[in-house]
């Protein structure tokens, strides 16, 4: 077995992993104890990475060779790399020569490595001469970039993870790290254990797992964050808790902000945010942390802020970021251990993309496109000056603008790399118009199963985690090496190499005879050029090298001559502005762009699940990662469920101004009244349905709004005004089967064609060790019998399965098919299809999923009105992914344990082991310990 140190490809915590491999196969993964982000820990997603790289997944879900679709809507045909790149280069050249370079758009990804990003950025801005390159990081952190630059003068997170150990108050706003950044949350738990006096404030419209552990949960109205921050500043001023000496020495622009926050009295702030005045005062006191105000004595104690999409994904995202940073500047809570505003990046390398300037308005090494001197510097560094050329000055189209321009016919060619815009961008109707209207769509991907792949004219197979070589930067400015444990499968190639090969072909067509701008022969050769662009900049990494990073990750800046990176920025009070002073940003509170109203009375919020990652092209293949949330749902407050006449599982139609979506309702007291919550992950890879116009659902982003922050251009994915009504889809179908891994993957792919024929359909994997597939569908009217027969056949219950038990009532459009397999002296249910009547769902599902002896149930399996057998109790929701422990198992174990909460948790873990491996379920276990009573 070979060990290869690398980095987790999921969230921005950037955990170090050790990949275990044998020959060409990745066989295991464990946390890297030497990596300073995680010290050996991994969450449920990171700990299962090796299971996403099995031979079966490679065969059924990976893109293994270039593919061409000669006719739109037609089948794909295999292609040869050289021919594919030549044909694409020809088409791109023709597009540029006919319509100009701005007719081409590149949409790339925060999951690319820094080296990949660098080549794409240079290809677009340096070679083609268009700034139309943007990234899914626009959906993730462009408001954080704009907020930092507007206040601190540079896009540089000033704090680090270790600050959790020094902070006296941790202020988490618009983030749910318990689920979205779990290993960082483990570090917060450690810090709180070591310092029980540490205060935790959580600002979130939902009572998330993170909020449930807070000392103070500020359950604000969606979109009211700026009002909250202004209100807190008002209170700090009134109480004398600001740091006037720090402001006088190190900041500018406070007077205008001071005048603005005068109007944000506690009473008005409470009205705007939906919070209590007393809670506002408490939050202001704990944030300011002046002598005595936090209950501690001595000098001002440090406050650390962590924030993410709740502030960023907003039509006033920059204002929200700046308003929070204003609080740090007003209280001097920056540049010292335990203090500072630390934005959490959602993606593994959103930071690396920022460093190379891989956004439509940025240039390499934090340079600005709008600055002629910066453009000239980059032109020189890239060698453009030798060809008497400059970088174009016109800002490129940002993510939503780029797809809108393609939908309008302005952009003719789209090159999409390592991202799935047909799932993740808002306003999917517009995005799909863009993908259909563009004359050339190139999708460079590791997976063949994404929604976007269906729109591609060309599919170019890319390497993925475990196969790539390069670097990524995490949320605390720490650059880590990514290394290949195995070679990429099939004909996959590295992203930087694909971009380089295409760039050279474009050079030959557009600038014949000129020396190449892309002389790279390895990831390191790309990185060395990138490194040189940082010389003298705030993120100077000229003191780093691949060998140094191989020995251990480093934080930037690390200029030449220094031996280690800088943990914290601005310790000397000098900021990256012209006068060295941080700037207060006087920003108005602007209400939501699309507020709730009488027609759309609910505010729909979106967020991440604990065990899934983004569009789920990787995590979505593992049944065990579906145990915690087995199927999609819309979460509603229990009172709203009652008011709408809904019970758990009822199908609900959600409509926004842009489209509709059907989902099962789930009661949740984490969601406030007049709000609804849906996970961000559901695309039409798992969820489909037809609306009144016969359009397939397009997932959650069929509903969301393309409106964006005017400064950061980050769209408002966190709020959509919607209406809800019970969906009238009385005919229902439920099918499930155990299969081998390859068969399960193939079945899910085949079911894609069927799902869109129903008013609602979802298809998900299940199973911890084995591989199951579940299909749920519903329709207004019974479908033709052939459709049900088709589903039975796909689940292996077609006519050729002569031993299947069957019931068929054509008149009432009901049928059942049950496939049992012998298991010693008994039999087990291997597959079933319940059509037209799924009242037996609970016990039939339990029989199959728990692999219980089924022989005794005989014909009961076919009786529509059979009562649920007492012995068949559903297992319940999985809480611990590592040890496959369900909520009822935990509740039963806790009923027999007494003592303090810590004692009960320890006893529970001793008994069931839950929460003893990755720890992602610990917040939920602690909550269950609190709520489960000890049996009499």
Quick one: which segment of 36-44, 364-372, 436-444, 861-869 binds ligand SF4 (CB under 6 A)? 36-44
Quick one: which segment of 42-50, 100-108, 504-512, 877-885 binds ligand SF4 (CB under 6 A)? 42-50
**Residue closer to ligand SF4, measured from CB, 12 or 765:** 12
Quick one: which segment of 40-48, 258-266, 486-494, 801-809 binds ligand SF4 (CB under 6 A)? 40-48
What's the min distance (Å) between Cβ of 485 and ligand SF4?
A: 16
8 A C-beta contact, residue 763 and residue 620: no
**How far apart (Å, rounded) are the C-alpha atoms in residues 154 and 244?**
23
**Residue closer to ligand SF4, measured from CB, 45 or 234:** 45
H helical segments located in 562-678: 638-643
**Nearest residue to the partner ligand SF4, using Cβ:** 46
Task: Show contacts with ligand SF4 in window 106-165 (CB under 6 A).
Answer: none
H helical segments located in 451-603: 495-510, 523-533, 546-551
Asked whether the CA dihedral 525, 530, 535, 539 is positive or negative, the reply is negative
Write the CA distances from 319 to 151, 156, 233, 325, 890, integer angstroms: 10, 17, 14, 10, 44
What's the min distance (Å) between Cβ of 46 and ligand SF4?
A: 2
What's the min distance (Å) between Cβ of 260 and ligand SF4?
A: 37
What's the min distance (Å) between Cβ of 531 and ligand SF4?
A: 24
Quick one: which segment of 38-46, 90-98, 307-315, 417-425 binds ligand SF4 (CB under 6 A)? 38-46
What's the min distance (Å) between Cβ of 473 and ligand SF4?
A: 13
What's the min distance (Å) between Cβ of 5 and ligand SF4?
A: 14
H helical segments located in 289-426: 309-312, 317-331, 350-355, 372-382, 399-407, 421-424
**Residue closer to ligand SF4, measured from CB, 38 or 452:** 38
Given phi > 0 = left and psi -120 to 50 = alpha, else beta, which region is 274?
A: left
What's the min distance (Å) between Cβ of 920 and ligand SF4?
A: 8
What's the min distance (Å) between Cβ of 179 and ligand SF4?
A: 10
What's the min distance (Å) between Cβ of 190 and ligand SF4?
A: 14
Distance from the first to the final alpha carbon of the chain: 52
**Residue closer to ligand SF4, measured from CB, 14 or 174:** 14
Task: Show contacts with ligand SF4 in window 157-216 (CB under 6 A).
Answer: 181-183
What's the min distance (Å) between Cβ of 182 and ligand SF4?
A: 5
**Residue closer to ligand SF4, measured from CB, 612 or 878:** 612
Quick one: which segment of 13-21, 372-380, 706-714, 734-742 binds ligand SF4 (CB under 6 A)? 13-21
**Residue closer to ligand SF4, measured from CB, 17 or 211:** 17
Q: Are strands 760-766 and 687-688 parallel, antiparallel or unpaired?
A: antiparallel
List phi, psi (to 5°) of 737: -160, 150
What's the min distance (Å) between Cβ of 11 and ligand SF4?
A: 3
Residue with tokens 């939906």: 274
What's the min distance (Å) between Cβ of 9 and ligand SF4?
A: 8
Quick one: which segment of 43-51, 200-208, 429-437, 629-637 binds ligand SF4 (CB under 6 A)? 43-51
Write the CA distances from 311 to 214, 314, 324, integer angstroms: 19, 6, 9
What's the min distance (Å) between Cβ of 236 and ligand SF4?
A: 33
What's the min distance (Å) between Cβ of 1 and ligand SF4?
A: 21
Does 42 interact with ligand SF4 (rule: CB under 6 A)?
yes
**How far apart (Å, rounded) are the C-alpha atoms in residues 27 and 801?**
36
8 A C-beta contact, residue 914 and residue 885: yes
Task: Show contacts with ligand SF4 in window 359-388 (CB under 6 A).
Answer: none
Q: Which of 5, 8, 202, 355 binds ligand SF4 (CB under 6 A)?
A: 8
What is the edge-to-edge ordering of all strands in the sheet holding 814-823? 687-688, 760-766, 771-779, 731-739, 826-835, 814-823, 805-809
What's the min distance (Å) between Cβ of 228 and ligand SF4?
A: 27
**Residue closer to ligand SF4, measured from CB, 46 or 461:** 46
List phi, psi (to 5°) of 461: -75, 125
> Which residues have CB under 8 Å from 405's CB, separation 6+?
105, 397, 411, 434
**Residue closer to ligand SF4, measured from CB, 15 or 894:** 15
- Tell me: cis bond preceding 318? Omega within 30 of 0 counts: no
Helix axis angle for 523-533 and 114-121, nearest 10°, is: 70
**How far apart (Å, rounded) are the C-alpha atoms in residues 13 and 16?**
9
Quick one: which segment of 3-11, 150-158, 293-301, 512-520 binds ligand SF4 (CB under 6 A)? 3-11
**How far apart (Å, rounded) are the C-alpha atoms in residues 307 and 202?**
10
**Residue closer to ligand SF4, measured from CB, 45 or 199:** 45
**Residue closer to ligand SF4, measured from CB, 608 or 677:** 608
What is the edge-to-edge ordering of all strands in the sheet holding 16-22? 2-7, 16-22, 25-31
Write the CA distances from 586 to 239, 252, 779, 925, integer angstroms: 21, 11, 53, 43
List phi, psi (to 5°) of 472: -135, 160
Size of the site for ligand SF4 (CB under 6 A): 14
> Which residues have CB under 8 Å from 886's CB, separation 6+?
875, 876, 877, 878, 879
Q: Which of 38, 111, 423, 603 binds ligand SF4 (CB under 6 A)?
A: 38
**How far apart (Å, rounded) are the C-alpha atoms in residues 886 and 897?**
17
Q: Which of 11, 140, 405, 472 binds ligand SF4 (CB under 6 A)?
A: 11
Tell me the sheet residues that pair with 602: 722
Reading the block at residue 105, the tokens are 């758009």
Interaction pattern, residues 783-812, with ligand SF4; x per rule: CB under 6 A = ------------------------------
> Which residues have CB under 8 Å from 546's CB, separation 6+?
481, 524, 527
**Residue closer to ligand SF4, measured from CB, 210 or 242:** 210
What's the min distance (Å) between Cβ of 308 and ligand SF4?
A: 12
Of residues 55, 82, 89, 49, the one with CA closest to residue 66: 82
**Residue closer to ligand SF4, measured from CB, 15 or 482:** 15
Does 43 interact with ligand SF4 (rule: CB under 6 A)?
yes
Q: Which of 10, 117, 600, 731 binds ligand SF4 (CB under 6 A)?
A: 10
**How far apart (Å, rounded) are the C-alpha atoms in residues 528 and 102?**
29
What's the min distance (Å) between Cβ of 633 and ligand SF4?
A: 23
Three-state secondary structure readout of 759-784: CEEEEEEECCCCEEEEEEEEECCCCC
Q: Which residues are near ligand SF4 by CB under 6 A?
A: 8, 10-11, 13-15, 38, 42-43, 45-46, 181-183
């Amino acid at each position: 077995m070979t060990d290869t140190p690398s980095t987790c490809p999921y969230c921005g915590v950037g955990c170090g992993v050790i990949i275990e491999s044998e020959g060409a196969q990745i066989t295991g993964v464990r946390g890297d104890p030497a990596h300073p982000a995680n010290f050996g820990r991994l969450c449920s997603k990171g700990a299962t990475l090796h299971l996403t790289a099995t031979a079966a997944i490679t065969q059924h879900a990976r893109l293994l060779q270039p593919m061409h679709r000669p006719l739109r809507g037609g089948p794909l045909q295999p292609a040869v790399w050289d021919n594919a790149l030549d044909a694409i280069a020809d088409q791109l050249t023709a597009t540029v020569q006919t319509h100009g370079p701005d007719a081409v758009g590149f949409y790339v990804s925060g999951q690319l490595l820094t080296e990949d990003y660098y080549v794409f950025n240079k290809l677009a801005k340096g070679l083609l001469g268009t700034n139309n390159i943007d990234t899914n990081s626009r959906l993730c952190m462009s408001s954080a970039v704009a907020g930092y630059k507007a206040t601190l003068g540079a896009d540089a997170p000033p704090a680090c993870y270790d600050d959790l150990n020094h902070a006296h108050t941790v202020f988490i706003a618009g983030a749910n790290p318990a689920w979205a950044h779990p290993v960082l949350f483990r570090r917060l738990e450690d810090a709180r254990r070591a310092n029980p006096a540490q205060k935790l404030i959580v600002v979130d419209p939902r009572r998330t797992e993170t909020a449930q552990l807070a000392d103070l949960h500020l359950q604000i109205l969606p979109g009211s964050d700026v009002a909250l921050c202004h209100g807190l500043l008002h209170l700090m001023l009134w109480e004398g808790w600001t740091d006037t000496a720090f402001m006088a020495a190190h900041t500018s622009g406070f007077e205008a902000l001071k005048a603005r926050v005068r109007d944000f009295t506690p009473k008005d702030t409470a009205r705007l945010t939906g919070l209590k005045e007393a809670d506002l005062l408490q939050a202001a006191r704990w944030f300011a942390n002046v002598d005595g105000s936090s209950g501690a004595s001595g000098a001002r104690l440090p406050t650390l802020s962590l924030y993410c999409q709740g502030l960023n994904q907003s039509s006033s995202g920059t204002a929200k970021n700046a308003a929070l940073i204003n609080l740090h500047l007003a209280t001097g809570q920056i540049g010292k251990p335990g203090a500072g505003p630390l934005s959490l990046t959602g993606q593994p390398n959103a930071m690396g993309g920022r460093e190379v300037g891989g956004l439509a308005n940025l240039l390499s090494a934090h340079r600005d496109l709008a600055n002629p001197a910066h453009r000239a510097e980059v032109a020189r560094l890239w060698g453009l000056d030798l060809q008497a050329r400059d970088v174009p000055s016109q800002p490129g189209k940002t993510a939503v603008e780029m797809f809108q321009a393609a939908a309008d016919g302005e952009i003719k060619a789209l090159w999409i790399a390592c991202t799935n815009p047909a799932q993740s961008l808002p306003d999917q109707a517009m995005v799909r118009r863009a993908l259909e209207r563009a004359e050339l769509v190139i999708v460079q991907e590791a997976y063949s199963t994404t929604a976007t792949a269906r729109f591609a004219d060309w599919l170019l197979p890319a390497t993925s985690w475990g196969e790539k070589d390069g670097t990524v930067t995490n949320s605390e400015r720490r650059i880590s090496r990514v290394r290949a444990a195995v070679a990429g499968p099939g004909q996959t190639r590295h992203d930087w190499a694909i971009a380089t090969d295409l760039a050279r072909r474009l050079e030959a067509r557009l600038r014949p005879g000129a020396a190449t701008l892309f002389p790279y022969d390895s990831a390191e050769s790309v990185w060395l050029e990138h490194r040189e662009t940082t010389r003298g900049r705030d993120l100077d990494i000229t003191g780093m090298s691949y060998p140094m990073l191989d020995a251990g990750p480093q934080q930037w800046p690390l200029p030449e001559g220094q031996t280690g990176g800088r943990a914290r920025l601005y310790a000397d009070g000098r900021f990256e502005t012209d006068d060295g002073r941080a700037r207060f940003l006087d920003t108005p509170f602007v209400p939501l762009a699309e507020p709730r109203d009488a027609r759309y009375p609910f505010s729909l919020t979106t967020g991440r699940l604990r065990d899934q990652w983004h569009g789920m092209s990787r995590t979505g293949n593992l049944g065990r990662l579906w145990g915690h949330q087995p199927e999609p749902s819309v979460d509603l407050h229990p009172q709203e469920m009652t008011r709408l006449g809904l019970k758990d599982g009822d199908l609900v139609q959600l409509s926004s101004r842009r489209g509709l979506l059907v989902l099962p309702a789930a009661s949740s007291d984490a969601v406030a009244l007049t709000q609804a919550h849906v996970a961000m992950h559901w695309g039409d890879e798992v969820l489909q349905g037809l609306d009144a116009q016969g359009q397939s659902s397009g997932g959650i982003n069929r509903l969301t709004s393309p409106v964006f922050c005017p400064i950061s251009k980050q769209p408002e994915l966190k709020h959509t005004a919607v209406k809800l009504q019970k969906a009238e889809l009385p005919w229902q179908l439920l099918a499930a089967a155990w299969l081998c891994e390859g068969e399960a993957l193939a079945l899910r792919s085949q079911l894609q064609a069927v799902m869109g024929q129903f008013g609602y359909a979802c298809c998900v994997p299940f199973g911890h060790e084995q591989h199951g597939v579940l299909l749920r569908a519903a329709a207004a009217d019974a479908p033709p019998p052939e459709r049900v027969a088709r589903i039975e056949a796909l689940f292996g219950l077609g006519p050729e399965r002569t031993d299947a038990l069957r019931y068929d009532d054509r008149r009432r459009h009901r049928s059942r098919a049950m496939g049992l397999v012998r298991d010693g002296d008994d039999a087990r249910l291997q597959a079933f299809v319940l059509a037209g009547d799924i009242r037996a769902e609970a016990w039939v599902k339990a029989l199959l999923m728990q692999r219980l002896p089924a022989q005794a149930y005989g014909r009961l399996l076919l009786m529509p009105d059979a009562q649920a057998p007492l012995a068949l109790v559903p297992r319940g929701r999985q809480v611990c992914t590592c040890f496959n422990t369900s909520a009822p198992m935990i509740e039963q174990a806790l009923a027999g344990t007494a003592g303090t909460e810590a004692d009960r948790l320890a006893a529970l873990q001793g008994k069931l082991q839950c929460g003893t491996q990755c720890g992602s379920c610990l917040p939920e276990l602690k909550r269950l310990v609190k709520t489960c009573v000890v049996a009499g």
